Structure 1
């Protein structure tokens, strides 16, 4: 059998098998440098949720047999039966589109079932940030005579999130060697897309981290900056849980503290203080200026409203 014929036969076999075609797509995403979290998201959205829908509706699992109405039915199912938010529907559509585009581009499927479909339009909402009165409570230095190591660490974490705007995944991967206090920056080594970038720190955060390190007492420069009582790296879920608990402890009502709220708050304060959008893009580690433009639109109007109230 000619080589081209054998190759075509192999591709048809892949394109007709749900698990195999997903496996090859995931391998391609890994080679493209997608983070572990993104890979897990693809596996969950495609290999779990989308597959379950196809099975429950008794639709063909063979990607070669999918048509555009199968994808439309899934979007309607998410929106109307599952009660998912439009942004969730849009995100899952994006995952399916990436998969189908890959299979079609590589000739694993004969036609692209998603080519004629457009993602759902999502209304932009004003991002919630932390009010000044909340910041005053949570960023106030804890009583050193009463607080535990974990309490002081959590306070240092909040100051780091507020002062730099970094993501929680970036935060938990900071090692002692990445903290350059003399030069007033932290090197982020686990940015989105596996990109490194330096983020500047203020004089206040300099003092916070300087004090924290005297309590932290690292053994080597490779130790993680923020750790548990045994010196082990904190998980992202642990950070989220501890922030929530810290908010309850200091009496924050009607609002849950989260790493992303600190990120948005950092962006808001940066813009309110006249910061340059392109510098903000670099600080936040965004590959596109579009998200930063959204921040400027949202928080720029917030500045205008505050100015009008004063006048």
Structure 2
């Protein structure tokens, strides 16, 4: 519980972290988000004293923390993640008059390319298992893989799906839980509709409020369980790379390379704006470059004779 302070008496750094957590709870942020902030604060406490008066916090303290992270972490993306969490909290404190205002910025980073499954890996992962020989979990992993590749939904959204979220009449999936908290209506193609109809015959659900995907006991999947299920499924099929989110990147890549609309892709992925979707395209530039070489327009239409500038050759 937060201690009472006399007016003008500064809160400590530790108290401010707790104050921001309380603000997050009052705004009804997801439990996973709050857990992330708490974990990030543990890293901050390795450098900042929890008893440090927040009104003594200056831009120099921030800059020194940046240097500290760069000397202790090798991953620029991780460094920026910690910096963004600190910046978010400090802006909250500045806006509420707990400390002086100053400008902060994260470090510049090179965005890594999105990791996707190769065509050969997809052939192995999306091949239907022998229904008469495979386990329920292997079959379920195949269905999950097909759904992820067909829709590009996030892992958390997948785990929250219920049987009632499939509309077979209108061929769409009602994704109730999303990162932006805005429900998504995702159309399902004929292949996916057929797969889901068959899956529900083996799922043996008791009512439409049951989880669509579950463990062997019929309980809701956890993040850890779903990860390990896909990990073992992939390795059993000779695919050493893994990850449910990798399907999201793969879906986006193939959508673009097959001429799909960027606007439609943005809606299917549930992005709040086109800039986020554009990042996917920018990070898939190597795949696009291969296609550009295959479709060499100059080679098709231009004069193949050497074109020389008038004048003497240097």
Same fold (TM over 0.5): yes
Q: Which residue of 2 aligns with 1:266?
A: 251
Instruction: Show CA shifts across 1:48-67 (max 9, x none).
Output: 11012224xxx853322212
User: Could you list the runs of 5+ residues in structure 2 that have no partner in the other structure?
Assistant: 297-314
Q: Which has the larger radius of gyration?
A: 2
8 Å Cα contact 2:148/2:244 also seen in 1: yes
Q: Counterparts of 1:252 and 1:150 in 2: how far apart (Å)?
A: 17
Q: Deviations over 1:173-196 (max 9, x none)?
A: 001111112211111111013221
Q: CA deviation at 1:10?
A: 5.2
Answer whether contact 2:14 2:51 (CA < 8 A) is retained. no
Alignment match of 2:55 (pick from 57, 61, 64): 64
Query: 2:65 corresponds to which residue?
Result: 74
Structure 2 residue matching 1:199: 3-state secondary structure: strand
The one of 93, 96, 101 equivalent to 1:103 is: 93
Partner of 1:50: 44
2:312 aligned residue: none
Of 108, 113, 138, the residue aligned with 1:121 is 108
Aligned match for 1:251, one of 219, 238, 242: 238
* 1:242 aligned residue: 229
Q: Residue in 2 aligned with 1:4?
A: none
1:23 aligns with 2:18: yes
2:301 — aligned with what?
none
State which drifts further: 293-302 or 233-242: 293-302
Listed one character per residue, the Cα deviations across residues 195-219 of structure 1 (whole Å, up to 9, x for unaligned) are 2111122211111111111000111
Q: Kindly indicate whether residue 221 of structure 2 is the aligned counterpart of residue 215 of structure 1.
A: no
TM-score (norm 1): 0.88
**Root-mean-square deviation (Å):** 2.0
The Cα offsets for residues 125-179 of structure 1, whole Å up to 9 and x where unpaired, read as: 2212111100000100001111111111111111111111111000000011111
Structure with the larger helix share: 1
- Residues 63-106 of structure 1: per-residue CA shift (max 9 Å, x gap): 222122222222222222x2231111111111111101101101
Distance 1:288 1:84, change over 3 A: farther
CA contact (8 A) 1:127 1:264 kept: yes
Distance 1:98 1:79, change over 3 A: same
- CA distance in 2 between counterparts of 1:189 and 1:147 reads 31
Q: How does 1:161-180 map to 2 (within 5 A)?
A: 161-180=148-167
Contact (CA 8 Å) 2:13, 2:51: kept in 1 or not?
Answer: no
TM-score (norm 2): 0.87
State yes or no: 1:295 paired with 2:280: yes
- Equivalence for 1:277: 262
Distance in structure 2 (CA, Å) of the matches to 1:217 and 1:238: 20
Count how many residue pairs are aligned between Structure 1 and Structure 2.
293
Unaligned runs of 5+ in 1: 1-7
Tell me which residue corresponds to 2:137.
Answer: 150
> For 1:91 and 1:305, how far apart are their aligned partners in 2?
32
Q: Is the 8 A contact 1:277 1:292 kept in 2?
A: yes
Task: Answer yes or no: is the 8 Å Cα contact 1:35–1:193 preserved in 2.
Answer: no
Given that residues 280 and 292 in structure 1 are in contact (C-alpha distance below 8 angstroms), is that contact kept between their aligned partners in structure 2?
Answer: yes
TM superposition outliers: structure 1 runs of 4+ over 4 Å = 8-13
For residue 132 of structure 1, the aligned residue among 94, 116, 119 is 119
